[in-house]
Structure 1
Amino acid sequence: MICSFFIAPSLQAKEHPSLILTKQGVKDIRANLGKLPVFDNAVKQVQAQVDAEIALGIDTPIPKDYSGGYTHERHKLNFVMAQKAGTLYQILQDEKYAKYVKDMLFQYEAMYLDLPVHPKPRSYARGKIFWQCLNDSNWLVYMAQAYDTIYDYLTAAERKTLEDNLFRPFADFISTGNPQFFNRIHNHSTWGNAAVGMIALVMDDDELLERALYGLDDDGIEFGTKDDDGGFLKVEGQKAGFLANLEDPFSPSGYFTEGPYYQRYAMYPFLVFALGMENSRPDVGVLQHKDDVLIKGVYALLNLSDKKGEFFALNDGQKGMSLMAKELVTAVNTAYYYGDQDPTLLSIAADQGTVLLDQSGLAVAKAIEAGKAKPYVKPSVNYGDGPNGDQGGVAVVRYGDSDLELVFKYSAQGLSHGHYDKLSYSLFEGGDEVAQDYGLSRFVNIEKKGGGNYLPENASWAKQTIAHNTVTQNETSHFGGDYATGSQHHSDLYFYESNNDAVQVVSATEVNAYPGTKLHRTMAVIKDEGFEKPFLLDIVRIDGSKRNQYDLPFYFNGQVLETTFDYEQPEKLAALGDKNGYQHLWVEGVSKPLKSDSWQFTWINEAKYYTLTSSADKADQVMFTRIGANDPLFNLRRDAGIMIRRDKSKDTTFASVIEPHGAYSPVTELSLNANSSINALDVLQSDDDYTAVKITTVDDRSIVFILANSDASTSKKHKLKAGGKTYKWKGAYYLGS
């Protein structure tokens, strides 16, 4: 397919640089050097880094290592430094930087054609410089920018040599040479598409540009072939190329189906290629594609981080990745300059402490210097998942000026980085995990741990349902832990409300995780005058077609303080099960059947107190667990959990409250408000029509929450008699006394 926008020849000669930096941008930067501290400091930092590398000399070793090894890290540093050096050449007009880039490129040119595929065999698509084509694509994305900045410094003969012996063979290798990598919907392919597209723009090669935007017409990939992570390389009817990767993984609101950790990683190639197109081929409208979804994606990333700026661990995600990442510097600068010059973005940029050395970074630095920055306030949000935003989603509830943040996941599978955890959640206070999601099992770029790659425990533990704060039925993960099955389904939003001063609620259903079982989970963050802080009410209603065993875990951080139930510790530790993640859980304590209507567990973490209060069936058991069984290489964290087990149940309801309260000072040794304000939690009624829960406080007040299970309409009137009292209300829920 030849697109019309490639047919008309350009009316003027192509100028360089024209990818991220532009000719006019460079002029403006030079005119403002020495006037903007944020920008000037960024220049000095980059100059110090590049000067140190120039002094060391250029090393392009024969590739042999996985992530974290010397050759991998050396080649990675090379492409980063080349891009920075080229930028310095444009800004400072010092030829030593252009010569550094030129010499490095010719060292790669001398070796590239004779390089075999990388000797490490682990990847489904092995690179030549790196162990996977993904990293080769990283190289080309950065080197295309470096080449663009020194293009006019090189002679025509030098450019021809580089393009014939390095850049075009490189682009062919990661595209036509590896269609299973290039022609799919995945962050891997985004990097590959962007790499080919960016070098195409520099070389003014329409054939490569079309390949980047639309993928390969005939890729020869068999449907059903899987990658290293168990994800399908291609599904029936799926398009490919950069534009398809903009369409399918992003919802209209900017949520990226793989989760924020991989959205952060993919945003760099998404943005830099889109900017390259904006500066070189604005007629195509890539930056504006899908109603400015890339700019919306920047805001989604910001909102999917906690109070400390660290991304929520949805799907595969390494904890600690944050808004300070270099990709977010690119994202924030780009969203400010090419968006609406939102002054709240400037506060994020100021916290990051650096800017891009291009026209967007210059604009941000000018605005900060002019005092235009305003605080960025993260709102409660509900992001739909899927290309049309109708494949479930993720809600983040933030209550007013409190530090409490609830993350409720009812999304689609999330491609190969997805986990089997429908209707799961995590809870934060002040950026500290109260109820945590495990995240991924991988030590990124630490070669001593599996070459820095995903560890076997990512599949055997981190992806499994029992690793998350959600219901596991009969010790089997959602969808049987099968990727193909999970990819066909998503949970559905029942309702979401965030505009009530007393409560914010999100509710969703899941009917496909276990055939014959419907899961309905409702989470309400409630502010009540009798409580020091807002608290979380969690209701899980299960409608089963037969009797099952249900396990509901709660993974907490901190030190156990007190329980209202008795439990016994085993003399010898044993795993809870033998598969589906259960083989990785030690059982550290087991209660007898509770024989009570509710129970409590109190712990302390980061000098703050928390109490979990839960309703109970009299046959329920509570277990203390710890991750780490059957893990001889210590690949897993030894995190603690507490789990409710309800056996031989058909239709049942779990109701729990997580209550933050009080604090302890290790300096003054003063403990404040260490006790829960709740005396009991009872399920008054739960059927197809209504679930009614009553919280009884220590001062004998009642808080009643009733959910209309079959009609979430805001105009529907309801009447229910429960617990000896009649309640009337309009809408999906009732909250009162």
Structure 2
Amino acid sequence: MKIKKVKYIKTLQAALLLLLMSSLHAQEHPSLILTKQGVKEIRSQLGKVPLFDASLVETKAEVDAEIALGIIIPLPKGFSGGSAHERHKNNYQVLEKAGVLYQLLGDEKYGIYVRDMLLGYAKMYPTLPLHPEKISYARGKLFWQALNDANWLVYASQAYDCVYDFISPANRSIIEKDLFRPFADFISVGSPQFFNRVHNHSTWGNVAVGMIGIVLRDNQLIDRALYGLKEDGLAAGMKDNDGGFVKKEGQKAGFLANLDEPFSPDGYYTEGAYYQRYAMYPFLTFAQALQNNKPDLKIFDYKNKVLLKSVYALLNLTKTNGEFFPLNDAQKGMSYYSNELVSAVDIAYLYAGKDPSLLTIAKQQGRVQLNNSGMAVALGIKNNLEKPFVKKSIDLSDGSDGKQGGVAIIRSKMKEDELTLVLKYASQGLSHGHYDKLSFSFYNNSTDVLQDYGLSRFVNIEQKGGGNYLKENASWAKQTIAHNTVVQNETSHFGGNFETGSKFASEKYLYDVSNPKVQIISANENNAYPGTTIQRTMALIAQDGFEKPFLLDIIQLDSKTVNQFDLPFYYLGQLMSTNFAYETPNNLETLGKANGYQHLWKAGTAILTVDNAKVSWLNEGSFYTLTSITQPNDEFFFVRIGANDPNFNLRNDPGFIFRKKNVQKATFVSVLETHGNYSPVSEVALNSYSCIANLKIIYEDANYIGIQIKSISGVETVFILSTENNKSNQKHHLIIDSKTYEWTGPYYK
């Protein structure tokens, strides 16, 4: 009996020892992004890898300057761009960098800085009420919105992980009890309208809670981050005083839901490239942390590797110079040189098979993350492994199942030059979406030829509405007339109603880029205006007699009622000429009274009598001419943005509008030419005139539309589209003006 008891005790002691060893291993730090083994590997390469070393020197100089300045933790007040906001933002960024420097350099001054900063926040945090600014649907405590609080926690959790073992158990207890645990609870159970939905805001919240949950080895927090708040945790406080989100029965939430819902199978993020860029940091950073701590989850394989696909999607959603196309709410000028994309490219390189084309982007970015993914990239560049990253024509589907429309990108490259068409036929894009079905933008290299306005906001500039969205974002930037697409009866698509717009997406009819000389996208929109169908077909065509490929644009409308249709084009640069007379008013009036029209000055008007209306302009050394087929009594307006804008929040960009009135069926056909050049140094203009002699519709019925383009040099181009049958093996036979056209597939060229 005693022998059995002794054996039992020894067995129990062995089990407890194994449990203790397992627990000690589980508590190893750092383990989020950096790991002990990873730090060891990085240290062995320091001084040998130029790009990594340069990034380290730059980071060290920044953090040393902050340490010399001293720790500053102001009481929260003000909006984005304000001194308190920017200081707290700077603090969390420097915290993370200091933690990394402590691990890589072993200098205790960085550990001391992180410890003292966190103790300072731990002293203040329990005393904080909600932020004094009350305009957010989910207010934070450190910042005016919970989103920024989540930003803080994502970065601070990494800093804490890096210096965890440096901080004494007593101080860790204070930091966790008074700061991190109440912080995680506040942005989750305390802010369900923020945390428990599908949106880039919630992704940051989910990741913040998950990151600190891993550091604290708190499975409840990790579970909350991955799967959202459970129903029993939502009994109270579901709607805050600012009119926040209320979780609907059965609705998904959490990090995995934010991977499932907004991302299409192609990696396109439904809110658009600007917000996809913003969300990539939490998505990929948490993925790294999960890979290090929950490898069985296989997060980088989730949804057929959608996170890695998303990096490639983002890189393709850029102009020649790396600036993102401004789809939906988007600040123009944002590019893949942002910190989020440096992180994304590094992580994708490490976890996507070390694709050498990503090294070309990283080399252009000129810096790397100070972790194993950054070291992998820097080593690849050191060893000259990079290969060109080639942006090709691509059609990116939208929607979790890829069936909610999409964004088509068509590129035509000629030596060092590139023309790019972007047609948006996507879903609404959540709260950041615009009412702009079948809108497009067009670029000559990195120059906007026909532009998308983007958003009305000056991000983090306090003087402009605290850096927040301006009221003109809703009254102008989101309205249909602000985009290069059709407007019916001066009302926006779906009546500018978010709930209605969120139910529908346009439908792709045809996307074919197999022939580099004729690349085509065609899509249908049947819900923007009840009773009206819209089909837009755009083709980038390389043709003899034209200096560069021209853009053919065909819009066919069929309505059950008589309507007015407006088609705007927003260009940049200086007007050169028109081939028709127009009048300019002595006193400016607005084009309309609502739905964005109130923001347009009527700068010129014409009643068109020509068969082809030509508008030419010059921008950044190139000439452009838009030739449009017109009918008698079609109206034309030169417009300029900026009316009813007392605070000068809008750019005063020019545009022009073609209008057809009192019609049930209407067809807009235009050709945009890119031609010639002008040098202010030589003062010589070359090829400054249009090459088109005549543009006309030679056939149109319920099944086909045929367009003829004659150049001045005598070259005749005929394009025929089968508008009802897009099968690639379908044979067509059509007689137009006694001439027989036979072809197989959706179009003839």
TM-score range, shorter chain: over 0.9
Aligned AA for 1:419?
A: H
Kept after mapping to 1: 8 A contact 2:189/2:234: no
Instruction: Describe how 1:219-258 pairs up with structure 2 within 5 A.
Output: 220=234, 234=247, 237-258=250-271
Q: Take 1:236 and 1:520, find their aligned partners in 2: how far apart are those partners?
A: 37
Question: Which residue, out of 720, 736, 741, partners 1:706?
Answer: 720
Q: Secondary structure at 1:399's aligned position in 2?
A: strand
Q: CA deviation at 1:11?
A: 8.9
3-state SS of 1:152 partner: coil
Q: Tell whether the 8 Å contact from 1:346 to 1:367 is kept in structure 2 after alignment.
A: yes
Query: 1:613 — aligned with what?
Result: 627
Q: Residues 674 and 342 (structure 1 numbering): CA distance in 2 closer, same or farther, change over 3 Å?
A: same
Distance (Å, rounded) in 2 between the aligned partners of 1:235 and 1:409: 30
TM-score by length of 2: 0.95
- Counterpart residue number, 2:194: 181
TM-fit CA distance, 1:374: 1.2
For 1:608 and 1:233, the matched residues in 2 are separated by 51
Q: Which residue of 2 aligns with 1:667?
A: 681
Quickly say closer, same or farther: Cα 1:318–1:631, change in 2 above 3 A: same
Is 1:488 the equivalent of 2:500? no
SS of equivalent to 1:113: helix
1:577 aligns with 2:589: no
Gaps of 5+ in 1: 1-8
Q: Output the CA distance in 1 between the equivalents of 2:142 and 2:237.
A: 28
Corresponding letter in the other structure for 2:49:
L
Partner Cα separation in structure 2 for residue 503 and residue 447 of structure 1:
47
Q: Given residue 257 of structure 1, which amino acid in structure 2 is its aligned partner?
A: T
SS in 2 for 1:176: coil
Q: CA deviation at 1:700?
A: 2.5
Query: Which residue number corresponds to residue 144 of structure 2?
Result: 131
> Aligned AA for 2:108?
E
CA contact (8 A) 1:181 1:233 kept: no
User: Aligned match of 1:522 in 530, 537, 545?
Assistant: 537
Q: Does 1:117 align with 2:130?
A: yes
Which residue in the other structure is 1:264 paired with?
277
Could you tell me whether the CA contact under 8 Å between 1:397 and 1:406 is conserved in 2? yes
What are the equivalent positions in structure 2 for 1:583-602 lying under 5 Å apart? 583-592=598-607, 594-602=608-616
Q: Is the 8 A contact 2:190 2:237 kept in 1?
A: no
Distance of 1:138 and 1:149 partners within structure 2? 18
Q: Aligned in 2, Cα 1:528/1:202: closer, same or farther, shift over 3 Å? A: same
Query: Are positions 1:645 and 2:659 aligned together?
Result: yes
Aligned partner of 1:468 in structure 2 is 483
The offset of 1:480, in angstroms, is 0.3
Task: Say which SS state the counterpart of residue 408 (structure 1) adopts.
Answer: strand
Could you list the per-position Cα deviations for residues 316-364 of structure 1 after superposition, in whole angstroms to 9, with x for gaps in the alignment?
0000000100000000000001111010100110111100000011011
What number of residue pairs does the alignment pair up? 725
Report the Cα distance in structure 2 between the residues aligned to 1:221 and 1:677, rounded to whole angstroms: 68
Q: Deviations over 1:517-566 (max 9, x none)?
A: 00000000000121111110000010111111000000000000010111
8 Å contact from structure 2 (residues 435, 479) kept in 1: yes
Which deviates further from its counterpart, 596-605 or 100-109? Answer: 596-605
Could you say if the C-alpha distance between residues 416 and 383 of structure 1 is closer, same or farther in structure 2, counting changes exceeding 3 Å?
A: same
The 2-side partners of 1:231 and 1:160 are apart by 34
| Deviation sequence 1:543-593 (CA, Å, 0-9, x none) | 11111100000000000001011100012101111100000000000012x
Secondary structure at the residue paired with 1:389?
Answer: coil
Residue 18 of structure 2 is matched in structure 1 by: none
Paired amino acid for 2:588: L
CA contact (8 A) 1:67 1:446 kept: yes
Alignment match of 1:13 (pick from 26, 32, 35): 26
**Counterpart-to-counterpart distance in 2, 1:576 and 1:629:** 9
Equivalent pair of 1:258/1:315 in contact (CA under 8 Å) = yes
Q: Deviations over 1:693-729 (max 9, x none)?
A: 1111112321111110100000111111224422111
Q: For 2:618, which of 604, 624, 638 is the aligned residue?
A: 604
% identical aligned pairs: 58
Q: Residue 316 of structure 1: which of 323, 329, 340 is its match?
A: 329
Alignment match, 2:567: 552
1:536 correspondence with 2:577: no
Is 1:70 the counterpart of 2:87? The answer is: no
- Is residue 179–residue 221 contact of structure 1 (8 Å, CA) maintained in 2? no
Structure 2 residue identity aligned to 1:530: G
Structure 2's unaligned 5+ residue stretches are 1-21
Instruction: Name the CA shift for 1:663/1:344 in 2 (closer, same or farther; >3 Å).
Output: same
Tell me the distance in 2 between the aligned counterparts of 1:669 and 1:550. 41
CA distance in 2, matches of 1:224, 1:710: 48
Number of the residue aligned with 1:438: 453
| Among 555, 569, 580, the residue aligned to 1:565 | 580
Whether 1:419 aligns to 2:434 is yes
Cα deviations by residue, 1:397-418 (Å, 9 ceiling, x for unpaired): 0013441000000000000000
Q: Aligned partner of 1:457: which letter?
A: E
CA gap of 1:678–1:237, structure 2 versus 1, over 3 A, is: farther
Quote the Cα distance in structure 2 between the aligned partners of 1:57 and 1:539. Answer: 62
Counterpart of 2:518?
A: 503
- One-letter code of the match for 2:203? T
Q: How many angstroms does 1:227 deviate by?
A: 11
Distance 1:233 1:665 in 2: 58
**Cα deviation per residue 1:60-90 (whole Å; 9 max; x = unaligned)?**
0000110000000000000000000000000
Q: 1:554 to 1:726 in 2, by over 3 A?
A: same
Please give the secondary structure, in 1, of the residue aligned with 2:491: coil
Partner of 1:150: 163
Aligned partner of residue 159 in structure 2, secondary structure: helix
| Letter in structure 1 aligned against 2:170 | A
Which of 80, 83, 97 matches 2:110? 97
SS at match of 1:681: strand
Aligned residue in 1 for 2:288: 275
Partner of 1:3: none
Per mean C-alpha deviation after superposition, the further-off stretch among 58-67 and 398-407 is 398-407
Matched, 1:726 2:743: no
CA distance in 1, matches of 2:491, 2:708: 32
> How far is 1:233 from its partner?
5.6
Task: Report the CA distance between 1:687 and its aligned residue.
Answer: 2.3
Structure 1 equivalent of residue 409 of structure 2: 396
* Deviation digits for residues 454-508 of structure 1 (CA, Å, limit 9, x no counterpart): 0000000000000000000000000000000000000000010011032100000
Whichever residue aligns with residue 77 of structure 2, its letter is: K
Given residue 310 of structure 2, which amino acid in structure 1 is its aligned partner? G
Tell me, in whole angstroms, the C-alpha distance in 2 between the residues paired with 1:362 and 1:614: 54
Amino acid at match of 2:422: V
| Contact 1:184–1:234 (Cα < 8 Å) also in 2 | yes
Q: Which residue of 2 aligns with 1:717?
A: 731
> 1:632 maps to which residue?
646
**2:493 partner letter:** H
Deviation at 1:234, TM superposition (A): 4.6
- TM-aligned CA deviation for residue 235 of structure 1: 5.3
Q: 1: CA distance between counterparts of 2:590 and 2:730?
A: 49
The higher radius of gyration belongs to: 2
- Whole-angstrom distance in 2 between the partners of 1:564 and 1:310: 35
Listed one character per residue, the Cα deviations across residues 187-210 of structure 1 (whole Å, up to 9, x for unaligned) are 000000000000000000000110
1:382–1:720 CA distance, 2 compared to 1 (3 A): same
Q: Aligned with 1:67: secondary structure?
A: coil
CA contact (8 A) 2:194 2:245 kept: no
- The answer to whether 1:215 aligns with 2:228 is yes
Residues 698 and 472 of structure 1: CA distance in aligned 2, closer, same or farther (over 3 Å): same
Equivalence map 1:659-698=2 (5 Å)? 659-698=673-712
Cα distance per residue 1:121-160 (max 9 Å; x no partner): 1101000000000000000000000000001111222212
Q: Give distance in 2, aligned partners of 1:480 and 1:222.
A: 34
Bigger mean CA offset, 717-726 vs 491-500? 717-726
The DSSP-based 3-state class of the residue aligned with 2:413 is coil
**1:629/1:542 CA distance change after superposition, 3 Å:** same
Distance 1:590 1:721 in 2: 39
Between the aligned partners of 1:164 and 1:42, the Cα distance in structure 2 is 35
Aligned match of 2:310 in 297, 306, 313? 297
- Paired residue for 1:5? none
CA shift, 1:224, in A, is: 12
